[in-house]
Amino acid sequence: MCHALSSGSGVELVEASTFPETMNMLAQDTTIDVVFLDLGMPGSEGLNGLSEVRAEYPDVLVVIVTAQDSPGIVQRALALGASGFIPKSASVDCIVDAVNTVLEGETWLPAHIDLSADGNDSLDDFGARLSQLTPHQLKVLRMVADGLLNKQIAYELAISESTVKQHVSAVLKKLGVINRTKAGIAFKNAMRTE
Whether residues 81 and 106 fall in one domain: yes
Last residue of a domain, one of 82, 117, 152: 117
Distance CA 191, CA 73 (A): 9
Q: SS3 of 38, please? A: strand
Of 26, 22, 56, which Cα lies nearest the Cα of 39?
A: 22
Whether residues 19 and 95 fall in one domain: yes
Whether residues 157 and 91 fall in one domain: no
- The domain tally of the chain equals 2
Domain coverage including residue 78:
2-117
pLDDT of residue 108: 82
Whether residues 92 and 17 fall in one domain: yes
Facing residues of 92 across strands? Answer: none
pLDDT of residue 183: 86
pLDDT of residue 148: 92
Whether residues 105 and 177 fall in one domain: no
pLDDT of residue 99: 83
Evaluate whether residue 127 is within a structural domain: no
pTM tops 0.75: no
pLDDT of residue 101: 84
pLDDT of residue 155: 95
Last residue of a domain, one of 117, 149, 164: 117
Whether residues 64 and 142 fall in one domain: no
Pick out the chain residues at pLDDT < 50: 8, 119
Question: Tell me, what CATH number does 159's domain have?
Answer: 1.10.10.10
Dihedral, 121, 126, 128, 131 alpha carbons, nearest 10: -160
Evaluate whether residue 126 is within a structural domain: no
Question: What does the pLDDT look like over 77-91, one tens digit per residue?
Answer: 887 888 888 888 888
Question: Tell me, what CATH number does 109's domain have?
Answer: 3.40.50.2300
pLDDT of residue 160: 92
Q: Would you mind telling me the total number of residues written for the chain in this entry?
A: 194
Evaluate whether residue 66 is within a structural domain: yes
